[in-house]
């Protein structure tokens, strides 16, 4: 069709579980650089996948923001394959930077710059009634000018209807909040804020903060590291379908400031305060994306690194 004719696919850039990504350009402008993401529909996942792909398209096209990957066009190719024409982001993702501890050095000013960009992306999604639901370092791509862009909206869904139950099998386990691990079907932007908190912690530690091997193990890590969810610290939690009752004697009290200062002290006391408010067990007590942006950490020293001075891979 017409849209398809406007683009040319060049070499393959990479392959994920659900898609193959190609470098591409506009037929009319050979110097243009684009990423063409071909969603694999001819797989065993067909039904679920094509639905995810359609969601990705629907929400991404509406969201125009410097920290959200731009979707220029959508077209179908042979076998009904869905192709997304995306902004080309050649510098990898935050996961690659975190892992390259030999080659890449960064400190609090850089973490503040990256978290600021992530915070603005998430705030903009929520402001537009979109939950991202898969925030993790691997979905934070880096543009040539250093700007971090939230990508992979495969799981995004509008939450404008609060009475429509949603699936809880979302968000890669390590970044998943306790309410989803307990099977909550009514949830809010707070799920993305928890993920943001775990990304914040990972940027400081340079290794995943809560790396569970199973869902039960993930909850165990949350209890041991952050505190055990109880009716006292999270009214209503015991009514969630998947709530696991913990032995009273084994209940671990919610960690105080000293614990966070001992592990995340490089973020400073104000940064630690922000991290703690993102990792509140009770989603209603967790700060909102707007409150993240209003936090005094952004204006306290050190100031965030300018995006053009941020470290880059290779
Ligand atoms: P995954 O989530 O496993 O990384 P994706 O299907 O999203 O899988 O992407 C596969 C690979 O394609 C990525 O690892 C990355 O190298 C590359 N890629 C994805 N999106 C872009 C983009 N917008 N610009 C440049 N490269 C991209």
Prior bond of 232 cis (ω within 30°): no
Question: Nearest 10 degrees: CA dihedral of 187, 192, 198, 202?
Answer: 160
Say what the pLDDT of residue 50 is: 59
Mean confidence (pLDDT) of the chain? 90
Q: Is 10 in the pocket of ligand 1 (CB under 6 A)?
A: no
Q: Is 41 in the pocket of ligand 1 (CB under 6 A)?
A: no
Ligand 1, from 10, 17, 21, 144: best to mutate by most atoms within 8 Å of Cβ?
21
The CA-CA-CA angle for residues 144, 121, 49, to 5°, reads: 90
Say what the pLDDT of residue 74 is: 87
CA of 71 from ligand 1 middle (Å) equals 14
Tens of pLDDT, residues 40-92: 765 444 455 556 666 667 777 888 999 999 999 988 877 777 888 999 999 99
CB 155 within 8 Å of CB 170: yes
Say what the pLDDT of residue 168 is: 66
Residue 132 gets the label, from left (phi > 0), alpha (psi -120 to 50) or beta, of alpha
Ligand 1, from 10, 12, 14: best to mutate by most atoms within 8 Å of Cβ?
14
Q: Is 269 in the pocket of ligand 1 (CB under 6 A)?
A: no
Say what the pLDDT of residue 55 is: 67
Mean pLDDT of 109-137: 95
Q: Would residue 1 show up in a list of annotated catalytic residues for this protein?
A: no
CA of 21 from ligand 1 middle (Å) equals 6
Report the alpha-carbon distance of residue 162 to residue 216 in Å, rounded. Answer: 27
User: Ligand 1, atom 14: nearest CA belongs to which residue?
Assistant: 14
Name the token pair of 45: 């996942």
In this predicted structure, the answer to whether residue 188 has a pLDDT above a threshold of 50 is yes
CA of 141 from ligand 1 middle (Å) equals 8
Tens of pLDDT, residues 242-288: 998 888 888 999 999 999 999 999 999 999 999 999 999 999 999 99
Tens of pLDDT, residues 4-49: 999 999 999 999 877 899 999 999 999 999 999 988 765 444 455 5
Query: Considering all CA atoms of the chain, what is the largest pairwise distance in Å, rounded to the nearest integer?
Result: 69
Inter-helix orientation angle 108-127/190-205, to 10°: 170
CB 145 within 8 Å of CB 307: yes
- Does the ipTM surpass 0.90? yes
Say what the pLDDT of residue 58 is: 73
Say what the pLDDT of residue 159 is: 60
Q: Is 22 in the pocket of ligand 1 (CB under 6 A)?
A: no
Report the alpha-carbon distance of residue 188 to residue 194 in Å, rounded. Answer: 11
Residues 6+ apart with CB under 8 A from 187: 166, 168, 177, 179, 180, 283
Q: What are phi and psi of 24, to 5 degrees?
A: -150, 175
Residue 154 confidence class, pLDDT cut points 50, 70, 90: low
Helix, coil or strand: residue 194 = helix
Tens of pLDDT, residues 254-264: 999 999 999 99
Say what the pLDDT of residue 42 is: 54
Place of tokens 């791509």: 141
Q: Is 88 in the pocket of ligand 1 (CB under 6 A)?
A: yes
CA of 93 from ligand 1 middle (Å) equals 9
Say what the pLDDT of residue 36 is: 96
Report the alpha-carbon distance of residue 21 to residue 287 in Å, rounded. Answer: 35
Q: Is 86 in the pocket of ligand 1 (CB under 6 A)?
A: yes
Give me the catalytic one of 52, 134, 152, 192. Answer: 134
């Amino acid at each position: 069709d017409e849209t398809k004719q406007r683009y040319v696919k060049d070499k393959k850039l990479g392959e994920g579980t659900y898609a193959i990504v190609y470098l591409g350009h506009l037929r009319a402008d050979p110097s243009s650089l684009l990423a063409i993401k071909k969603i694999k529909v001819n797989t065993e996942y067909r039904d679920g996948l094509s639905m995810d792909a359609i969601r990705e398209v629907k929400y991404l096209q509406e969201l125009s923001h410097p920290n959200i990957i731009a979707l220029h066009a959508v077209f179908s190719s042979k076998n009904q394959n869905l192709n997304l024409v995306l902004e080309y982001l050649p510098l990898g993702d935050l996961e690659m930077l975190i892992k390259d501890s030999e080659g890449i050095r960064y400190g609090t000013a850089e973490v503040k710059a990256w978290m600021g960009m992530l915070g603005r992306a998430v705030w903009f999604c929520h402001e537009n009634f979109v939950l991202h639901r898969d925030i993790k370092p691997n979905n934070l791509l880096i543009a040539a000018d250093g700007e971090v862009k939230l990508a992979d909206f495969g799981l995004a869904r509008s939450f404008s209807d609060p009475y429509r139950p949603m699936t809880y099998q979302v968000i890669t386990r390590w970044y998943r909040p306790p309410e989803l691990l307990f099977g909550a079907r009514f949830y809010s932007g707070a799920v993305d804020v928890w993920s943001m908190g775990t990304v914040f912690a990972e940027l400081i530690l340079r290794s995943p903060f809560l790396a569970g091997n199973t869902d039960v193990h993930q909850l165990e890590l949350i209890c041991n590291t952050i505190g055990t969810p109880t009716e006292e610290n999270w009214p209503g939690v015991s009514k969630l379908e998947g709530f696991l009752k913990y032995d009273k004697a084994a209940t671990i009290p919610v960690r105080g400031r000293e614990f966070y200062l001992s592990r995340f002290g490089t973020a400073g006391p104000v940064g630690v305060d922000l991290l703690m408010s993102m990792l509140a067990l009770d989603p209603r007590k967790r700060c909102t994306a707007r409150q993240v942006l209003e936090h005094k950490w952004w204006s306290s020293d050190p100031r965030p690194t300018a995006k053009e001075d941020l470290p880059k891979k290779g």
